[in-house]
Amino acid sequence: MKTLHSPVGVIRSAGYRLTRQRRLVVDILAESHEHLDAEAIYQRAKGRDARISLATVYRSLALLKQTGIVQEHSLGEGHGHFEATQPSPHYHFTCRTCGKVVEFEAPQVLGAVRRLCGKMQLKVVEVHLLLSGYCSHCGIGRMDGDDIQI
């Protein structure tokens, strides 16, 4: 898994240049503690470089995703959210009411994937786990039968 530690090397080894616009998108994602959609990235980039376009942000995100520098997540909305690729796998919980996203690690997920790969002779290259429900604030007093009993 690639991380933001060396985006220049990763992009160059893939045969591309790290343009100032691509660097700007990388920097915004590296500095953010949120899962940003393309529009939010564009707004932040525009604040630093008035010449950048939304199309450039989309093209940059596509290349950065292709090279593994950033990851796109579906967090229960109709569009993707982006974050810098992390050094260790993590997963997401999204609140259905307020949209709060909680990241968590679950090493047992990778263990289950490894066992499945061995048993079924599979080669998994990517794992996504998204849990959705209600955060502690929104779930108070909510008993609607949608809960998974774990």
Do strands 91-95 and 101-104 pair parallel, antiparallel, or not at all (unpaired)? antiparallel
Domains 1-87 and 88-141+146-150 share a fold: no
Alpha carbons 37 and 9: distance in angstroms, whole number: 25
- Tell me the CATH number for domain 88-141+146-150: 3.30.1490.190
Residue spans of the domains in the chain: they are 1-87, 88-141+146-150
pLDDT at 41: 97
How remote is the C-alpha of 85 from its chain's centroid?
7
Q: pLDDT of 75-88, one tens digit each?
A: 767 778 898 888 77
Q: Which of 71, 2, 88 is nearest to 32 (CA)?
A: 71
Decide yes or no: CATH 1.10.10.10 for domain 1-87: yes
- Beta strand 80-84 with 70-74 is antiparallel
List the one residue out of 3, 15, 70 whose CA is nearest residue 41.
Answer: 70
Predicted confidence (pLDDT) per residue in 102-144, tens digit? 888 888 998 999 999 999 999 988 888 888 889 888 876 555 5
Find tokens 């109709």 and name the residue: 78
Among 19, 27, 21, CA closest to 56: 21
**Sign of the torsion angle spanned by Cα atoms 35, 72, 77, 20:** positive
Q: Is the pLDDT of residue 101 over 70?
A: yes
